[in-house]
Amino acid sequence: MQSELAARNWDFEVWFMARSEPNRNWTLEESDFAFPHQFLRGVHWNAANCAWHLNLEIVSRLRRSRPDVLLVSGSWTLPTVWLAALTRTGGAKVFWSESHLDSVQRRGGISNLVRRCVLSRFSSFAVPGMLAREYVEAFARPTHVYELPNLVDPTRFRDRVSALRDSHPAHKEDRERTLLVVARLAPEKGLLQFLRGVRLLSKDERSRLRIVIAGDGPQRRAVQEQALDLGVALPGQRIEDELTTLYAEADGFCLPSLFDPNPLAVIEALWAGLPLMLSSRIGNHPECLIPGQNGFLFDPFSPESIAAAISQWLSLTAEQLKNFAMTSLEIAERAFEPKTAIANFLNQVLERPATSTRLEPSHNLVRRQTPSGSANR
C-alpha cells in the first residue's frame, strides 16, 4: 500500500495501537515496518478473553493531521476505535471489518445495540470477503463497501515453498499423506473436535495419515493428551521461515475453527499450493475453497463431517491431488495477489470515497490498526 500510494503522490502513515497483545506469538522485526508508522501511547489491559486498547492520543493526532482518508482496523469493541469514529477529521472514514455472522460471540441485546451504535458511525467499510459484507450490512447501513482481502507475501509462501520442494523432494510412500494444521492451540480453533474426527477414520486411513499441528496456546496440554495415540506431531509455535518448510512438506492443509473471522493461514496455504479442508465457520472459505476442486468443506461441530472431509482427501489419486494443488494456486493468484488487490481497493476508495467526491493526489491516508504478523492465527 505504501509503494502504490507513493506512485499516486499520496502520503501514507500507519498508527498502531500496541506492539503486541497477550497470548499472541507475533515475531516482528524492525525491517517489517518499511513504511512511515507510529506506535500510539495508551493504556492496555486484558479482560473477558480480549485485549483492550485505549489510545487517547488518537484524538489530537487526527485533529492535527486531518487525513483525507482514515482506514480503521481492529475490533469494533476497542475504545480507540470509538475515539477514531467520533473524532471529526473532515475526510472519509473507512472501517475494515473481517467479522462474519457465524464468528459473533456476543449476541445479547446490549452487545448488538452497542455494535450497531459503533458501526453506524462509519458510512464506508472495507471487507475481505462475502461473509464479512453480510455482517456489515446486517449491523450498519453502509454507503460504500470496498473489497480489501487479507494478504500475504507470495514470494514467501509460493516461491520459497516451491524452491524448498524442488531442493528437497519428498521421499514418502505414494499412499502416505501429511496434513498440516496451523493454528493457535485455543478453544476457538476446534482442535479437540478435529482430533475426535480423526479417530473416526478407518485403521487403514489412519495408517496413511501424518498430522502436524503447528502453534501454541492455552489448550496445548489438552491437545497433547488427545493426540497421544494418533501420531500427531506438535512442533509448537513456528516462525515464518520454519512455517514455509512445513507447508513445503505437507500434502494438504486443514483449519477446523469453530469461529474464525478471516484467517491468514488459509491464504498462506493457497499460495503454498495445498488442497484445503476448511471449517464452514471460517470467514474466507467462500473465496478460498471450491468444494471438490481444491478441497472440502466440513462442519467443525461434527466429528463425522470432519472424518468425511479427510477421507475424501485421502482417497484422491496423485493426479487429482496435483490438480487440487494447482487450483489452490490459481485462486491465490486471481484473488489474493497483493499489488492487484491493493490497487483495486485504492481505485475504489480514491475514486468514490465516503465524501462522494473524487480525491486528488497529494493528500494523506492514515491507517490505524493493531500489529499483525504471520503468527497471528
CATH number at residue 361: 3.40.50
Tens digits of residue pLDDT in 84-102 = 999 998 899 999 999 999 9
In a domain, 225, yes or no: yes
**CATH number of the domain within which 185 lies:** 3.40.50.2000
What's the pLDDT at 357? 45
What's the pLDDT at 105? 72
* Angstrom distance (rounded) from CA 331 to CA 349: 24
What range does the domain containing 93 cover? 2-151+337-369
Alpha-helical runs (H) found in 120-202: 130-139, 154, 160-167, 191-199
DSSP string, 74-102: S-TT-HHHHHHHHS--SSEEEEE----GG
Same domain, 311 and 362: no
pLDDT of 22 > 90? The answer is: no
pLDDT of 23 > 60? The answer is: yes
What's the pLDDT at 356? 44
CB-based burial label for 180 (10 Å; 0-12, 13-18, 19+)? buried
Same domain, 73 and 11: yes
pLDDT of 213 > 80? The answer is: yes
* Angstrom distance (rounded) from CA 13 to CA 228: 48
User: pLDDT category, 251, cuts 50, 70, 90?
Assistant: very high
Mean pLDDT (the chain, rounded) = 90
In a domain, 79, yes or no: yes
In a domain, 375, yes or no: no
What's the pLDDT at 241? 86
Average pLDDT (212-225) is 95
CA torsion, ordered 155, 342, 181, 296, to nearest 10 deg: -110
Contact 71, 84 (CB under 8 A): no
Q: Could you tell me the three cell numbers for 339?
A: 499489488
Neighbours of 348 (CB within 10 A): 18
Same domain, 49 and 143: yes
* Angstrom distance (rounded) from CA 112 to CA 110: 5
In a domain, 297, yes or no: yes
Average pLDDT (238-248) is 92
Same domain, 277 and 310: yes
Q: Pairing between strand 43-47 and 37-39? A: unpaired
Which H or E run contains 125?
strand 124-127
What's the pLDDT at 47? 85
Same domain, 127 and 268: no
Tens digits of residue pLDDT in 62-87 = 999 999 999 999 899 999 999 999 99
In a domain, 376, yes or no: no
Domain count, the chain: 2
Q: Pairing between strand 144-147 and 124-127? A: parallel
Cα–Cα distances in angstroms (integers) from residue 44 to residues 23, 27, 183, 195, in the given order? 14, 20, 25, 35
In a domain, 102, yes or no: yes
Tens digits of residue pLDDT in 109-151 = 788 899 999 999 999 999 999 999 999 999 999 999 999 999 9
Rg (CA), the chain: 21
In a domain, 269, yes or no: yes
Tens digits of residue pLDDT in 316-345 = 999 999 999 999 999 999 999 999 999 999
Same domain, 139 and 170: no
Same domain, 217 and 319: yes
Same domain, 212 and 286: yes
Percent of the chain with pLDDT over 90: 77
What's the pLDDT at 304? 98
Average pLDDT (351-374) is 54
What's the pLDDT at 339? 96
What's the pLDDT at 174? 61
DSSP letter at 8?
A: T
Same domain, 310 and 161: yes
Same domain, 162 and 310: yes
What's the pLDDT at 370? 52
* Angstrom distance (rounded) from CA 186 to CA 184: 5
What's the pLDDT at 354? 47
Residues 6+ apart with CB under 8 A from 161: 244, 247, 248, 271, 272, 273
Same domain, 316 and 184: yes
User: Which one, of 336, 165, 167, 191, lies nearest residue 244 by Cα?
Assistant: 165
| Cα 215–Cα 218–Cα 222 angle in degrees, nearest 5 | 90
Considering only residues 233 and 370, tell me which one the structure prediction assigns the higher pLDDT.
233
Average pLDDT (51-65) is 95
In a domain, 17, yes or no: yes
Same domain, 232 and 93: no
Tens digits of residue pLDDT in 269-316 = 999 999 999 999 999 999 999 999 999 999 999 999 999 999 999 999
